[in-house]
Structure 1
Amino acid sequence: MNFHTRKWVKPEDLNSNNTLFGGRLLAWIDEEAALYSIIQLENAHVVTKYMSEINFMSSARQGDIIEIGIEVVKFGTTSIVLRSEVRNKMTHEMILTVSNITMVNLDENGKPKPHHKKEVEYVKNRINLKK
């Protein structure tokens, strides 16, 4: 699992229990999944189709730093299926797991479009590095 993004839990991210609001965390995960998919599929037109059961195991408090991890489960014809974990860098606890996030690649008309990807590609391999 690669952890690409860190978030600092601020007062505006809290619920009435003074812990991280689950809806805020899900929005962060959705954004991370979209960004990851856009980069992998090389297309800015990607949408979330499905999110499986979400398992909250702990929470975070104001001032905590969390990390959002994403990994590819599989590539479909027009989709990419991801898995996500979120962990608290301050308490070293796992906060949440989502085992299946399906993102769909779209054409300019908003219709599913084949992406022809079969494996994870890394940006460093796409860029012609000159030394």
Structure 2
Amino acid sequence: MRFHTRKWIKPEDLNPNGTLFGGKLLAWIDEEAALYSIIQLENQKTVTKYMSEIDFKSSAQQGDIVEIGIEVVKFGTASLTLKCEVRNKMTRKTIIVVDKIIMVSLDEDGKSKPHGKTKVEFVKDRLIKE
């Protein structure tokens, strides 16, 4: 799994217990999945269709640095299925795992649009082709 993004836990990210608010973490995961999928599918009109159950393994405190990892599970006709893990950068403890996030490529009318992709591509490799 590749860990693409790091977040620094600040006071505004905490719940009343003084630990990372789960809703904030889920928003970060959703944004990371969207950004990853938009780049992979080369379509800015890519949206979250489904997120499987989430499994909180541990928490994070103010000042901790967490990193968000995304891995492609499957390419569908108009979708991309991802897996996500968030871990504490310093301790390497897993904070949360989301086994399945389905992102869908849309056309101008908001209907699913086939993307024609079958494997992970890196932007640097696309630039070489052009």
> Does the alignment reach a TM-score above 0.5?
yes
Q: 2:13 is matched by which residue type in structure 1? A: D
How far apart, in 2, do the equivalents of 1:92 and 1:38 lie? Answer: 28
Q: Percent identity?
A: 72
The C-alpha deviation readout for 1:33-70, integer Å capped at 9, x for no partner, is: 00000000000000100000101000000000000000
The letter of the residue matching 2:126 is R
Distance in 2 between the 1:92 and 1:46 partners? 31
TM-score normalised over the length of structure 2: 0.97
SS of the residue corresponding to residue 4 of structure 2 reads strand
**SS at 2:128 equivalent:** coil
The alignment's C-alpha RMSD in Å is 0.9
Q: Unaligned 5+ residue runs, structure 1?
A: none
Normalised by the length of structure 1, the TM-score is 0.96
Distance 1:124 1:37 in 2: 16
> Which structure 2 segments of 5+ residues have no match?
none
Partner of 1:55: 55
Query: Counterpart of 2:121?
Result: 121
Matched positions, count: 129
